[in-house]
Every structure is written in C-alpha cells, then in structure tokens.
Amino acid sequence: MAVQPPRAATPMVRVPRPSTVDLITAELRSAIFSGALPVGSPIGEVEMASQLGVSRSPLRESMQRLVQERLLTASPGRGMRVSEIGPERVADVYDARLAIEAQAARLIIKAGAESVLDRLEAAYAALVEVSQGTDALAISDADLEFHRLLVDVAGSDRLGLYMSTLVIETRIAGLSGDGDGYTARRSISETYRQLLDALAAGDAFEAFTALERQFAEAVARHTGQAGDVDTVETPVTEAIAVITPIEVVDDEG
C-alpha cells in the first residue's frame, strides 16, 4: 500500500482581538455619547489615564483617533476637549445622515429582505413605547437605535462605520444646547411610519422624502425653530467617574 503524504495543515486565520487603544477609544466614545464626558469639557491626560487604568501613550493615540472623527477637538495651548456642535452646524450633521440613511434605504429595498423590515418594525415599536415616558435620553437612545439599525441592516460596513460617528455627533448636538439637560421629542413624527411603509412598498423616493422631512423637523427643533412640539427634558449629570477602567491587553501576544 502506498504511503499517503502528510496532509497539509489547514491554514488558520488568527482571530483579531481589540487592542488597548481600541478599548480606550470605545470607552471614550461611550462616555461622550452618554454625557459622562460633557460637551466642551477638557480631557486631562493624567486624570483620564488614571481613571482608565492605562498609560498615557495609548490614551494619546486613542484621543487622536477621536480628533479625526471630530468627536474631540485639539486646541493649541488648551489640549483636548469634547467637541461641541452648535446650532449653526446641526444641519450639516443631518445632511450627512440623510446621505447615509437614504442610501441604506435603497440597499434595503434592493435586497427585499422581509426579515429586515420586521427588525425595523420592532425598533419602531420600542421607540413608540419609550416615548410614552419622560426620560429624554432613553427616547433619544431608542430613536438613534432605529436609525443605526436602518444602516446596519443595509449590509454596508462602510456606511455602518460612518453612521456610528454620526450617531454620536447627533447626541453631541443635543447636548450642546443652552439648557441644563437633554431634550428629546416625545411625540412620534409620522415620518417614521411613512419611512417604514415606503421600505415595505419598495419606494426609494418616498423613503428619501420621509427621511428628509424627519431630519428637517429635527434641525428645526435643535435650532429653536420647531414651534409647538411635545418634548421632554432630562438633566445630564457630569459624571466622569462612571468611566470604566480598561483591562489592558497584550497587543503583542
């Protein structure tokens, strides 16, 4: 019997794991989104490194990433601060969101996956339910989750990446107002239902129109031009101490 040659080893792909810089970046993004790092607040390297339990080198690299994402702002002689998005810049955020989300809607319609629509309907139902309460941040979370899901289910990694930053910028815009808290719209805009119906009908133009109207309403509210809209406000506590220490990983291992 002929001796069989040894079988070549199956190539194994190394499973990537997040680096310390990745973990720090994710924690800082979360802190900015929650308001634990208030808009306009300075980021003290020594204090932040101590709270996160990391050295200053990976913290600096992480902060540079967030500067590139425009979530942090570097000022000569003033160091790093959490970015602010005033009324004059709100429309720009929503213009970018319209470009991303309208294309996501087109991709969803092109794919025609019914299960995707079911997930969006569930996210919409969650938004309707939470809007019956008085927690502005919870309403905002549900609202942004609906829009994040709209982009995620479209199946484009790049669109999802851009949207992840725009979601945080949207929250920053809400936290950059003159009030002492975060204000959210409590009444549900009819444009959500119009968007879902347009997706179900395969009508990309109507989906775009619904998003355009919805974002115009949001810009008007953020800039004080919305008129009589049912809103609720929740105080935002400056609680930097809620930042979770990072479990340092061996990036070389």
Q: What is the pLDDT of residue 238?
A: 40
Q: What is the pLDDT of residue 2?
A: 54
Percent of the chain with pLDDT over 90: 62
Q: What is the H or E stretch that residue 251 is in?
A: none
What DSSP state is assigned to residue 4? P
Give 234's strand partners.
182
Instruction: Dump pLDDT digits (tens) for 95-140.
Output: 999 999 999 999 999 998 778 999 999 999 999 999 999 888 899 9
Q: What is the pLDDT of residue 48?
A: 92
Q: 4 falls in which pLDDT band (50, 70, 90)?
A: low
Q: What amino acid occupies position 72?
A: L
Burial class (CB in 10 A: 0-12, 13-18, 19+), 82: buried
Q: What is the pLDDT of residue 200?
A: 95
Instruction: Name which of 51, 3, 57, 45 is nearest 27 in CA terms.
Output: 51
Q: What angle do CA 44, 45, 48 make, to 5 degrees?
A: 80
Q: What is the pLDDT of residue 170?
A: 95
Q: What is the pLDDT of residue 247?
A: 66
Instruction: Dump pLDDT digits (tens) for 173-221.
Output: 988 876 666 778 888 999 999 999 999 999 999 999 999 999 999 999 8
Q: 243 falls in which pLDDT band (50, 70, 90)?
A: low
- By mean pLDDT, which of 10-24, 89-103, 133-147 is the weakest? 10-24
- The whole-model pTM stands at 0.83
More confident residue, 183 or 143: 143
- By mean pLDDT, which of 69-73, 77-81, 213-217 is the weakest? 77-81
Position 5 pLDDT exceeds 80: no
Q: Mean pLDDT across the stretch 39-53?
A: 90
Q: What is the pLDDT of residue 253?
A: 38
